[in-house]
Amino acid sequence: MTDFAPASMSFEPGAAGPKGSIPLCVPHIAGNEWEYVKECLDTNWVSSVGPFVDRFESSVADFVGAQFGVATSSGTAALHIALLAAGIQPDDEVLVSDLTFIAPANAIRYIGAWPILIDAEPNYWQMDVQKLSDFLTTGCEWTNRSLINRNTGRRVTAILPVHILGHPVDMDPLLELARRFDLRVIEDATESLGAKYKGRPAGHLGDIGCFSFNGNKIITAGGGGMIVTDNQEYAARAKYLSTQAKDDSIEYIHNEVGFNYRLTNVQAAIGCAQMELLPTFIERKRHIASSYSKLLENVGGLTTMPRADWADPVYWLYTILTDASSRDCMRKLAKKSIQARPLWQPLHLSPVYESIQVEGGNVAEDLNKRALSLPSSVSLTDVEIEEIVSAIIS
Ligand SMILES: *Cc1c(COP(=O)(O)O)cnc(C)c1O
């Protein structure tokens, strides 16, 4: 990226961007947000407890059919707390997608555990479950009832699949591997609230699911995250650790190191209003995706976004594959004030994680070179979609 600042800097989520420009993905405030925030201000419930926090937790949990929801200050905090709640220990290894935003790998490092990177599969760009299986069956062995990575000698204890771009990972074979090898499954569903895998909601397929309510996600709370789970012990542990691990709130007794990962009532108020809009947001995202696919279908030099048979995606960011350079295309679109963005640098190429073990990696590298995400805000109009498509064609 040369003449174009990193996407996140040129158009902060929430900022409209330069006048007349089309941003990648910005929030859409269209319901009871004002009313609920005003209620917080009027009642003085502005901080980290309050009725909207509880309501937000139950509305997200209910939406995915989970028994418990625990709100956190960000999606990254949700991932950190999920790993702790699931009992992942320092020096354990966690199998995570190679092609993802960096947050899940960082969360693994926060607890002193190590990521093992699993390449994407070329068809739908999600974690390659065959490579995961190959690693578990040939790269690991059982020693004293622990699953040990032969290469590092460390214990492998969890899988962290990331449902990227609003499309689910092939979870049934992954869950079967998890059962066979006694691994916890923590889903990073931060880009996939509302997506389904064979009719089941993403984020409610493994042991714990994590969501983000950052400004560029499916819905926003300004910022924030949540874990959802059916496991009462995990939920209680997540609540405890995310609220400073307080064992006695009068005497201030703490038996463990906790975190201040609480969501405020004001943020939750925005989140509650956005949850009411979620069904229409999902409908709109799907409409945007099918419009792009229809208009780009017969355009040479590019491939439209794929969808697996098992998936009802939410199309967080509609993404195409270019035969030529995606960076070139991105720069040309930027000149027409249209913000597009390549996919993330695969984690095995990231300077922070270059010494980390990776299974495969070529597919993620190829996708990083060729994929380009197009504007996908819920507020994107049909006229803007046509404008973007003709800019791409030209
Ligand atoms: C956005 C995102 C996160 C982190 O969410 P924050 O709320 O920004 O901390 C984690 N994982 C993935 C894959 C993401 O896209």
Tell me, what CATH number does 286's domain have? 3.90.1150.10
**Mutate which of 217, 259, 274 for ligand 1 pocket (most atoms within 8 A of beta carbon):** 217
Give the residue from 219, 250, 272 where a domain finishes: 272
- What is the side-by-side strand order in the sheet with 114-118? 68-72, 225-229, 208-212, 184-188, 156-160, 93-97, 114-118, 358-359
Whether residues 283 and 267 share a domain: the answer is no
pLDDT for res 16: 53
Q: What is the pLDDT confidence band of residue 8, given thresholds at 50, 70 and 90? A: very low
Q: Could you read off the pLDDT of 80-102 as tens digits, one per residue?
A: 999 999 999 999 999 999 999 99
Q: What is the mean pLDDT of residues 1-29?
A: 62
Q: What is the mean pLDDT of residues 316-322?
A: 97
Whether residues 79 and 141 share a domain: the answer is yes
State the total domains in the chain: 2
For residue 186, how far is its CA from the centre of ligand 1 (angstroms)?
A: 14
Whether residues 167 and 40 share a domain: the answer is yes
Asked if residue 361 is part of any domain, the answer here is: yes
> Which residues is 371 bridged to in the sheet?
321
For residue 214, how far is its CA from the centre of ligand 1 (angstroms)?
A: 8
Q: What is the pLDDT confidence band of residue 9, given thresholds at 50, 70 and 90? A: very low
For residue 219, how far is its CA from the centre of ligand 1 (angstroms)?
A: 12
Looking at the CA of residue 164, tell me the nearest atom of ligand 1.
13
Q: What φ, ψ does residue 24 adopt, rounded to 5°?
A: -65, -55
- Spatial contact of 17 and 4, defined as CB atoms under 8 Å apart: no
CA 115 to CA 352: how far, in whole Å? 12
- Name which residue sits closest to atom 2 of ligand 1, judged by CA: 190
**Mutate which of 79, 190, 211, 219 for ligand 1 pocket (most atoms within 8 A of beta carbon):** 190
For residue 101, how far is its CA from the centre of ligand 1 (angstroms)?
A: 7
pLDDT for res 7: 41
For residue 141, how far is its CA from the centre of ligand 1 (angstroms)?
A: 32
- Name which residue sits closest to atom 13 of ligand 1, judged by CA: 101
Q: What is the pLDDT confidence band of residue 2, given thresholds at 50, 70 and 90? A: very low
Number of Cβ atoms within 10 Å of the Cβ of 154: 17
pLDDT > 70: percent of the chain: 95
CA 31 to CA 325: how far, in whole Å? 40
Q: What is the mean pLDDT of residues 204-232?
A: 98
Residue 291 Cα distances to 267, 277, 280, 380, 386, angstroms: 33, 21, 16, 11, 9
Whether residues 131 and 192 share a domain: the answer is yes
Looking at the CA of residue 100, tell me the nearest atom of ligand 1.
13
Whether residues 248 and 316 share a domain: the answer is no
Region at 17 (left for phi over 0; alpha for psi -120 to 50; beta for the rest): left
> Which residues is 148 bridged to in the sheet?
141, 155
Looking at the CA of residue 74, tell me the nearest atom of ligand 1.
7
Q: Could you read off the pLDDT of 249-296 as tens digits, one per residue?
A: 899 999 999 999 999 999 999 999 999 999 999 999 999 999 999 999
- Name which residue sits closest to atom 7 of ligand 1, judged by CA: 75
Higher per-residue pLDDT: 6 or 310:
310
Indicate whether 12 pLDDT > 60: no
2-13: b or e for each residue (b if 16 or more CB lie within 10 Å)?
A: eebeebeebbeb
For residue 190, how far is its CA from the centre of ligand 1 (angstroms)?
A: 6
pLDDT for res 17: 56
Q: Which residues are near ligand 1 (CB < 6 Å)?
A: 74-76, 100-101, 103-104, 162, 188, 190-191, 212, 214, 225
pLDDT for res 1: 32
Whether residues 239 and 341 share a domain: the answer is no
CA 115 to CA 97: how far, in whole Å? 9
pLDDT for res 14: 44
pLDDT for res 109: 98
Indicate whether 226 pLDDT > 60: yes
For residue 171, how far is its CA from the centre of ligand 1 (angstroms)?
A: 20
pLDDT for res 126: 98
Looking at the CA of residue 191, tell me the nearest atom of ligand 1.
15
Looking at the CA of residue 214, tell me the nearest atom of ligand 1.
7
Prediction pTM value: 0.95
Looking at the CA of residue 107, tell me the nearest atom of ligand 1.
10
pLDDT for res 49: 87
CA 245 to CA 240: how far, in whole Å? 5
Q: What average pLDDT is seen over the chain?
A: 94
Whether residues 337 and 246 share a domain: the answer is no
Looking at the CA of residue 225, tell me the nearest atom of ligand 1.
7
Q: What is the pLDDT confidence band of residue 18, given thresholds at 50, 70 and 90? A: low
Whether residues 83 and 142 share a domain: the answer is yes
CA 296 to CA 320: how far, in whole Å? 9
- Spatial contact of 347 and 361, defined as CB atoms under 8 Å apart: no
For residue 203, how far is its CA from the centre of ligand 1 (angstroms)?
A: 14
pLDDT for res 10: 42
Q: Could you read off the pLDDT of 125-143 as tens digits, one per residue?
A: 999 999 999 999 999 999 9
For residue 388, how far is its CA from the centre of ligand 1 (angstroms)?
A: 26
Higher per-residue pLDDT: 13 or 81:
81
For residue 381, how far is its CA from the centre of ligand 1 (angstroms)?
A: 26
Instruction: Quote the domain boundaries for residue 313.
Output: 278-393
Give the residue from 243, 272, 301 where a domain finishes: 272
Give the residue from 226, 248, 272 where a domain finishes: 272
For residue 146, how far is its CA from the centre of ligand 1 (angstroms)?
A: 31
Reduced to 3 states (helix: H, G, I; strand: E, B; else coil), residue 250 is: coil
Q: Could you read off the pLDDT of 348-364 as tens digits, one per residue?
A: 999 999 999 999 999 99
Q: What is the CATH number of the domain that holds 261?
A: 3.40.640.10
